[in-house]
Amino acid sequence: MFQKHPNTHDALVYWKDYAASSLDIFIVYWCKTTDFKVFLASLEEINLEIKKRFDAAGLDFAFPTQTIHLQQPVAKNA
């Protein structure tokens, strides 16, 4: 994928860590341009391609979640 993209080369992909609810993958690649708009467009294209490939493989991304428990206020006349 990185070799085929016209603005990227030399990608490094490593399985970095076990996290609380995910397996972390570390990806580094180099962009051949110094034009910031071209860089951002390339970044978006690569990220969308990664997401597309995960979807095709039936894999989901983990999103941080939080559970908040709200207690009922104590009555003033209690």
* Per-residue pLDDT tens over the stretch 3-25: 889 999 889 999 999 987 778 89
Contact yes or no for 8/32 (Cβ under 8 A): yes
Q: Determine the average pLDDT of the residues in 31-49.
A: 95
* Maximum distance among all Cα pairs of the chain, rounded to whole angstroms: 71
Length of the chain (residues): 78
Domain count of the chain?
Answer: 1
What is the Cα–Cα distance from 53 to 56, expressed in whole angstroms?
Answer: 5
Q: Does residue 78 carry a pLDDT above 70?
A: no
The residue segments making up the domain with residue 17 are: 8-56
Residue 32 domain-assigned (yes or no): yes
Contact yes or no for 46/32 (Cβ under 8 A): no
Residue 76 domain-assigned (yes or no): no
Residue 25 domain-assigned (yes or no): yes
Residue 75 domain-assigned (yes or no): no
Burial of 37: CB neighbours in 10 Å, binned 0-12, 13-18, 19+: exposed
